[in-house]
A and B are shown apart, each in its own frame.
Chain A
Amino acid sequence: MSLLIEHEIDSATRRRGTRRFLLLSLLIIVALVTAMLVRQGLFRHSTKLSFVADTAQDISKGQAVQIAGFRVGAVTSVSLRDDSRVVVEVEVDSGEMHLVTHDARIELRKEGLVGSAKLEIIPGPDKTRLATSESRLAFTRADGLGALANQVRDEFVPILRDIKAITGTLADPATGLPATLAQIRGTTQSLNGLLQNGDRQVGEIGGGATRVLGAAETSLGHLGRTLETTNKQLPELLDRAQRVLQHTETISAEAAASVPPALRDGSATAADVRDIVRGAKQTWPISTMVDGPGPSRIRTDSDPRAEGGGASNAGN
């Protein structure tokens, strides 16, 4: 009997252990599943946005949507409209929606020009209003390698065209470099001839200059003799001038003493005469004979120099 009891006890223990193991496994599975679901964003709140593009090139479902390089959402659907344009719907974490303004735009960028394409939400300038659920955002494509190549081509082609024209002009036998070189050769020959003529003329001028210098020397000799004569006569002239100046000084000194009083007396006398005449003019009967001071009138003469229609050559 004890064996049966021990067997019963062992069986119960085994059954308890199995139940505990199963329970634990179930919990672990649930936790794993829950973690997977959380990771997949099942319990995450998200906001739907959309945009319209001309083409779905480089856009695919599940593609990451970023803000400042951080993944905040993904493309949920890509569909073709009746007008041949593409509507793309994205979902963005609700927690990051405070960064998406109502005037934000979505830009498709390629990493390093040829890398994978990513959608980047770029907030707009108006930070006062945020985008709401189901908002339609503007879409742009960043320039890729193709656009860069086109730009380089557009800038280089005119330059190459100009180079071709210039080289063509230079090579022209009539107006280009060969003709210019020929002209330079001809001009050089003319210049050589001119220099030779110049040498000859300089030689002639030198001869003329020598003659002129000889004549100047003769004139200087005359001048020297004249100066000698002047030098002999000058002292006497200076003496006479000195005597004249002394006489003049004497006369001036005497005049300085006598003339001012005479002038003052004359001025006083003239003032007295003026007063007397003025007084007489104001006294009857002389006042009736003399006109009082008044404005003067001179006769009009429309042609004082009898020039007629011409003007005077004297001018001003």
Chain B
Amino acid sequence: MPATRPPIAWLTLLAMLAGLAGMTMGGCSSAPKVVVPPLLEQALSIESDAARRYQRGELEAASRGFAEAVRAFVAIDDGAGIARNRHHLARVHLARGKPAAALQQLVDPADTSLDADLIRAQALLGLQRHDEAETKLRKRLPECTEACRHGPALQLLLARLALATSHPDQAVRHAQLALTLLAKDATLDDGREQANAYRLLAQAMLAGGAVEQAEIAAQQALTLDRQLALPEKLARDWLLLGEIRQQIALRQTPPSSLVAARAAYRQAQEIATAAGLSELRTAAEAALMRLPVP
């Protein structure tokens, strides 16, 4: 009588066959992948790498990466890729404090997108060409009111413009509107625009004399920037807090001690030193020196 397999062996074999069948069906059921041409894939890869570097704060490397991506897309005549990477490169230049270089990336008059105009306005603001920046922003305002992805950014740029031209009331209004728009749609922002809005609100309220409210807004900005771990913004938030606390202390009768203000400036100095931000470190040291010796 021939030997028969034990039941457990049959079950094991059945399970293996079922698994194999499942894998095969799964592989057959997925949509066929679109084959991307090698040069396009290479360009997208360079862009993606530069974007990761930007997110990590490696601005120098990100700048080189996006510039290379632009060249790669120019080589394959991909207009959308060229425009997109020019926008990325312009944003990197703005983050590095080079508004003229950012503007240079957007000299093509054919690029009339809202994104491009916002970057141009931001660069013009950096170059203190306020009239031109205002013209660009006001022109775009009607088409970006409610359901507009760039609505918060537009309002925040208008708030910055109002601060630059010494209109703190208008700056408060625009910053509050930006916060309202951001609250409606959480996908619009990862927290940095919200922090920007609170910071601008704090600066505008300080300029308008509402120092207590300014401190609350500045604390909000600091909390958000701490979550995002952005050293430059953290240092500037502490500098702003120091300035606000200094004003609060001086307005009291008699003027109270400036311990809180001094502590804020020192914190800004430490962050700037640790992050290698020499300009901010110098500003913090200057602010400390201006405080009267206790």
Contact = CB atoms under 8 A, between A and B. Distances in A.
Contacts of A312: 97, 99, 126
Contacts of B30: 284, 287-288
Contacts of B84: 295
A57 interface: no
A298 interface: yes
Contact of B164 (A310, A314, A315): A310
A270 to B, nearest CB: 14
Contact of B99 (A282, A292, A294, A311): A311
A211 B293 CA distance: 50
B77 interface: no
Contacts of B27: 284-285
A287 B26 CA distance: 12
B101 interface: yes
Contacts of B160: 302-303, 307-309
Interface in A260-316: 282, 284-285, 287-288, 292-316
Interface string B96-129: 0111110000000000000000100010011110
Given A299-B192, A301-B95, A304-B91, A293 B44 contact: yes
Given A298-B91, A303-B196, A306-B232, A293 B164 contact: no
B36 A293 contact: yes
B245 interface: no
Q: Looking at chain A's contact residues, is the secondary structure mostly helix, strand, loop, or mixed?
A: loop
A303 B88 CA distance: 15
A310 B126 CA distance: 7
B181 interface: no
Contacts, number: 118
A71 to B, nearest CB: 85
Q: Looking at chain B's contact residues, is the secondary structure mostly helix, strand, loop, or mixed?
A: helix
A292 B33 contact: yes
Contacts of A294: 44
B266 interface: no
A309 B156 contact: no
B51 A298 contact: yes
Contacts of B41: 293
Interface residues of B, number: 61
Contact of B199 (A296, A303, A314): A303
A298 B150 contact: no
A223 B191 CA distance: 66
Contacts of A285: 23, 26-27
A307 B280 CA distance: 11
Given A303-B156, A306-B233, A308-B199, A284 B26 contact: yes
B240 to A, nearest CB: 8
Interface residues of A, number: 30
A288 B47 CA distance: 22
Contacts of A282: 33
A303 to B, nearest CB: 4
Interface string B45-65: 101101100110000000000
A307 B196 CA distance: 10
A308 B279 contact: no
A309 B172 CA distance: 12
Contacts of A313: 279
B131 interface: no
Contacts of B164: 309-311
A196 B58 CA distance: 71
Interface string B225-241: 10000001100110000
A23 to B, nearest CB: 119
Contacts of B225: 306
A213 B17 CA distance: 105
Pick from B97, B118, B125, B237 the residue with the most CB of A within 10 Å. Answer: B97
B94 interface: yes
Interface of B: 23, 26-27, 30, 33-34, 36, 40-41, 44-45, 47-48, 50-51, 54-55, 80-81, 84, 88, 91, 94-95, 97-101, 118, 122, 125-128, 150, 152-153, 156-157, 160-165, 171, 189-190, 192-193, 196, 199-200, 203, 225, 232-233, 236-237, 279
Given A304-B95, A307-B160, 15 more contacts: A288-B30, A295-B84, A296-B51, A298-B91, A299-B189, A299-B190, A301-B91, A302-B157, A303-B199, A304-B94, A306-B199, A307-B236, A309-B161, A311-B127, A316-B99
**Shortest beta-carbon contacts, A-B, top 3:** A309-B163, A309-B164, A296-B51
